Structure 1
Amino acid sequence: MHTLSKYKLVFSRQELALIAITVIWGATFLIIHTAMSHTGPLFFVGLRFLGAAAICLVIFRKRMRHLTLTELRGGAVIGTSIFIVFSLQTFGLQTVNSSTSAFLTALYVPLVPLLQWLVLKRPPKTTTLVGVALAFAGLVMIAGPDALHVGLGAGEIATLLSAFAIAVEILLMSRFATVVDSGRISVVQCFVASALSFLAMPLFGEGIPDFSWVWLTAALGLAVASALIQFTMNWAQKTVSASRAAIIYAGEPVWGGIIGRMAGDRLPPLALLGALFIVAGVIVSELKAAEKQQDDTPLPDDDGVRPTP
């Protein structure tokens, strides 16, 4: 039997990069909250990802001439999943309170290792499963006691589907990351997410908002953040399993709460405890047996490229 002394904490640079983008991700909550008083969500998402696509295109323009069919297909399905997540959450929030929405959305954390096992045939290791349980418990605590008042209305169903879409997005990134260029696929997925958001505006009865420097400045700032986030996710998930990535992404509301506290918000004690659970989940998921470095990601081939799942 392993004792705690036989384990050591190991973070790869890819995992540290994912932690860094969750800090940026958490900071976007305050910006989005401010922007939503001046614009509709779909227009804002469309503009945000259009800007991100433009930034990635400028940076990786020389690589785009070598765009492959696999990158086009992968970017299209990932971009579609990004759009589905935002549109379903937007629809759900019309009838579901924010606490319940947060709870239902958090279901993506346990869904990822389950789908990874069923679809990619890669069972997660024990420490990853423990980390998933801790992170999910933490997200439930952050959502608060009101979150458990769940019905079976259209809003709840839409939010549940959005959680599934998030899990699929993370899984798709792991599926394609090993066989695509991170820069090129980032351009495609950001453009697809933007285009679908703009096209969906009439379906949701959303019009173009009156001009405001608030939503324009916020969208441009988040375009930079989104470009960095999407590229980092595509790059890091070449070596970080979908399950461990999901646990790290669960830290997003923790950083959002910390930044919100700096802006004057106060977190209730249960939310603070939930934040500790999420941090514990990230740490536990990174524990590796010292004498045997077990992992739930495939070993690289001789050429250093991980085999396609």
Structure 2
Amino acid sequence: MKRAQANGLLLVAALIWGTAFVAQQAGMRDVGPFTFTGVRFLFGAVVILPLVARELRRLGRRGVWLDGRDLAGGLLLGVVLFLGAAFQQIGIAGTTVSNAGFLTALYVPLVPVASALLLRERLHWSVWPASAGCLGGTFLLGGGSLSALSTGDLWVIASALFWAAHVMMVGRVAARHGAPITIACLQFLMCGVLGMASGGALEVVSIDALERALPSIAYAGILSVGLGFTLQVVAQRHTLAADAAILLSCETLFAAIAARIFVGEVLTPMQLLGGALIFACVMAIQLLPLVRARNEAAQPA
């Protein structure tokens, strides 16, 4: 696959993820957040099952087999994924699609900050000003006052904590035996089961409601979870990390555009500035360390 083709696939993945915020909000008219999350991720797990079978056959030919630690790691990831997805889904019901997209992106600065505080990892200098910029962007999204943030905004911000934890954990678990798709399927299944169990216990679920919400759930599950993840895994093997960072970060912009087209949301100038500031800081955190690494690699030994 050529680099341009891979970049095109990444852009499609970002488009799917960004527009999925609209589907997530629409689905909440008929079912609760836990039920939506549960069915969504079970759909995603079913979509990638053929890829799981292929991956396991490939590993088997090499004499590599997954064990109890891999199973436990995948299930633990599913718990964290469930908390992030469920909190985000609860929040989307009480905020705008645009805000949900930009605030979810706060997980990007949270990952290096948490890595530095918890794992004593060395930070690139750009993380601290970019993190401060993200806080400033959140302030502007709230209309110039953090107290003006809606309850939905706060739920989405809380979800970013779990998205960050998930990012920190997933690489370690998936890299153990080189089975990222299988680990992804395990976490999707766990997330789906927890969502359905929580929905059954806390929400009123009916067949009619599920049928009405099915188009939204299918988009968020089959396309966003299943296809979006597959496109990312395939494409990132054939392009540069810098390209991937830029293209996948466009998810937040696509969310705002989709909100304007499909829901009619209009951000105030202050909110637009806040969203732009968060997006710029997210890009800086991902790209500036890559520029430094490339410059160091280019220097003669």
TM-score by length of 2: 0.72
Letter in 2 for 1:173: V
The corresponding residue for 1:56 is: 48
CA distance in structure 2 between the partners assigned to 1:233 and 1:81 by the alignment: 20
The corresponding residue for 1:3 is: none
How big is each residue's C-alpha offset from its partner over 1:172-208, in whole Å with a ceiling of 9 and x where there is no partner? Answer: 1232243331211111111111011011123323323
> 1:161 Cα shift?
5.1
Query: Judging changes above 3 Å, is the alpha-carbon distance between structure 1 residues 26 and 142 closer, same or farther for their aligned structure 2 residues?
Result: farther
The corresponding residue for 2:161 is: 164
Pairs aligned (count): 275
TM-score by length of 1: 0.70
How big is each residue's C-alpha offset from its partner over 1:261-296, in whole Å with a ceiling of 9 and x where there is no partner? Answer: 2233322112221232233224433132464259xx
Deviates more, 1:127-136 or 1:70-79: 127-136
Query: Judging changes above 3 Å, is the alpha-carbon distance between structure 1 residues 222 and 40 closer, same or farther for their aligned structure 2 residues?
Result: same
CA distance in structure 2 between the partners assigned to 1:71 and 1:165 by the alignment: 20
SS at match of 2:208: coil
Q: Pairwise mapping of residues 10-159 of structure 1 onto structure 2 (< 5 A)?
A: 21-64=13-56, 66=60, 68-69=66-67, 70-89=69-88, 98=95, 108-145=107-144, 147-149=146-148
**% identical aligned pairs:** 24
Q: Is the contact between residue 37 and residue 86 of structure 2 (CA under 8 Å) also seen in structure 1?
A: no
Q: Is the contact between residue 10 and residue 231 of structure 2 (CA under 8 Å) also seen in structure 1?
A: yes
The corresponding residue for 1:298 is: none
Which structure has greater helix proportion? 2
How big is each residue's C-alpha offset from its partner over 1:47-74, in whole Å with a ceiling of 9 and x where there is no partner? Answer: 1111110011023323245561343223
Deviates more, 1:116-125 or 1:164-173: 116-125
CA distance in structure 1 between the partners assigned to 2:157 and 2:272 by the alignment: 25
Structure 2 unmatched runs, 5+: none
CA distance in structure 2 between the partners assigned to 1:104 and 1:248 by the alignment: 18
* Aligned with residue 191 of structure 2, among 190, 193, 196: 193
Structure 1 unmatched runs, 5+: 1-10, 295-309
How big is each residue's C-alpha offset from its partner over 1:234-260, in whole Å with a ceiling of 9 and x where there is no partner? Answer: 7759x969xx97x98775443211122
Q: Is the contact between residue 37 and residue 89 of structure 2 (CA under 8 Å) also seen in structure 1?
A: no
SS at match of 2:29: coil
Task: Report the aligned-residue RMSD.
Answer: 4.0
